[in-house]
């Protein structure tokens, strides 16, 4: 698998602005654009369809959608529409989602591993254009048929963090989207993904290990850090203690960030340490980002996905990625 670069955008911007940012990404050599899917932002699939009509090369998909707020048939129709409008550039990013969000919506978060697996299986069957039935442990379909985009071959990427979901991603999908900005995040993840590909008798060299990173690039480290700190503060506040043990971050430093949020957002950001930035973001000048990305690639990453905040100026950050980073890694 050759090294590629994607980019993540939150669905919190108007369609025209997001399309411009994705077009800028496309013009700067980024191969994938992933749009987040959260009910309280703009609809990801409506945005992806609009973006597809305003781009020509970059691959497009939700990063990631979930199998609870839409049925498997709805998801298939939505991504197949993106594929049709984009002339075959769609990618299907799916994961189990966030239990807290579903609790708030009154949706039962049941059997996430099985639900993701069965949704992907239905997705692939419906894309054939044949009438299908499906009797799964969670998903049930008596009779369904997709009337367009028959035979479409749309790559599946599973958003995975836990042991079993990583194994499932390796077994079932073409790639995995793993939240992580540090090589430590991939030490066990890559082994588990390979277990999955081995189980399915697939060549792991063809599997795309995508690092969903918190990313901030700028001309100076100070500017990059200033933009990265607020996002890092949220990551720290929302992570379980076991994560900090893995990265060797003292729990007393973590508690300063958590307590900071009780006082003010500024206090939480001020409590972010250099060790936290190093563990939970790729942050710095182009040369410093290259050094960190190189370590990710050596850990087994094959797609690097710069995500929020990108940097002090999104357009300039995309241009720096395109002119400074991609030529270093993509030959």
Encode pLDDT of 228-237 as tens digits.
999 999 999 9
Average pLDDT, the chain: 96
pLDDT band for 153, please (50, 70, 90 cuts). very high
Tell which CATH classification among 3.20.20.30, 3.90.226.10, 3.40.190.10, 2.130.10.10 matches the domain 4-219+286-329: 3.20.20.30
Q: Is the pLDDT of residue 1 over 80?
A: no
DSSP helix/strand/coil, 164: helix
Per-residue pLDDT tens digits for 80-117: 999 999 999 999 999 999 888 999 999 999 999 999 99
pLDDT band for 257, please (50, 70, 90 cuts). very high
Q: What is the per-residue pLDDT for 36? A: 97
Please say whether the beta carbons of 33 and 9 come within 8 A.
yes
Percent of the chain with pLDDT over 90: 96
Q: Which range (37-46, 67-76, 106-115, 143-152) has the least confidence?
A: 143-152
CATH 3.20.20.30 domain range(s) in the chain:
4-219+286-329
Residue 139: closest CA among 70, 79, 93, 77: 70
Please say whether the beta carbons of 203 and 197 come within 8 A.
yes
Q: What is the per-residue pLDDT for 196? A: 98
Here the contacts of 51-54 (C-beta below 8 Å, separation 24 or greater) are 51/15, 51/18, 51/19, 51/22, 52/82, 52/85, 52/86, 52/89, 52/90, 53/85, 53/86, 54/19, 54/22, 54/23
């Amino acid at each position: 698998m050759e090294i590629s670069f994607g980019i993540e955008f939150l669905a919190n911007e108007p369609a025209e602005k997001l399309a411009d940012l994705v077009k800028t990404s496309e013009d700067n050599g980024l191969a994938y654009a992933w749009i987040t899917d959260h009910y309280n932002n703009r609809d990801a699939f409506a945005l992806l369809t609009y973006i597809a009509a305003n781009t020509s090369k970059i691959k497009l998909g939700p990063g990631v959608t979930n199998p609870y707020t839409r049925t498997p048939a709805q998801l298939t129709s939505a991504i197949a529409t993106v594929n049709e409008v984009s002339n075959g550039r769609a990618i299907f990013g799916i994961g189990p989602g966030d239990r807290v969000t579903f609790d708030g919506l009154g949706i039962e978060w049941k059997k996430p591993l099985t639900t993701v697996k069965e949704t992907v299986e239905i997705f692939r069957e419906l894309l054939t254009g044949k009438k299908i039935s499906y009797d799964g442990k969670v998903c049930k379909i008596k009779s369904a048929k997709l009337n367009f985009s028959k035979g479409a071959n749309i790559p599946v990427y599973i958003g995975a963090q836990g042991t079993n979901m990583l194994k499932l991603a390796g077994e079932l999908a073409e790639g995995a989207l793993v939240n992580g900005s540090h090589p430590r995040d991939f030490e066990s993840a890559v082994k588990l993904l390979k277990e999955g590909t081995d189980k399915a008798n697939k060549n792991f060299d063809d599997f795309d290990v995508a690092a969903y990173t918190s990313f901030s690039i700028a001309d100076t480290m100070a500017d990059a850090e200033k933009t990265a700190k607020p996002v890092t503060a949220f990551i720290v506040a929302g992570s379980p203690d076991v994560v900090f043990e893995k990265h060797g971050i003292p729990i007393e430093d973590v508690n300063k960030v958590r307590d900071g949020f009780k006082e003010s957002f500024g206090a939480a950001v001020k409590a972010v340490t250099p060790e936290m930035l190093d563990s939970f973001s790729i942050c710095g000048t182009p040369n410093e980002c290259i050094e960190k990305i190189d370590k990710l690639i050596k850990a087994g990453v094959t797609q690097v996905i710069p995500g929020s905040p990108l940097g002090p100026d999104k357009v300039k950050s995309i241009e720096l990625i395109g002119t400074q980073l991609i030529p270093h890694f993509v030959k």
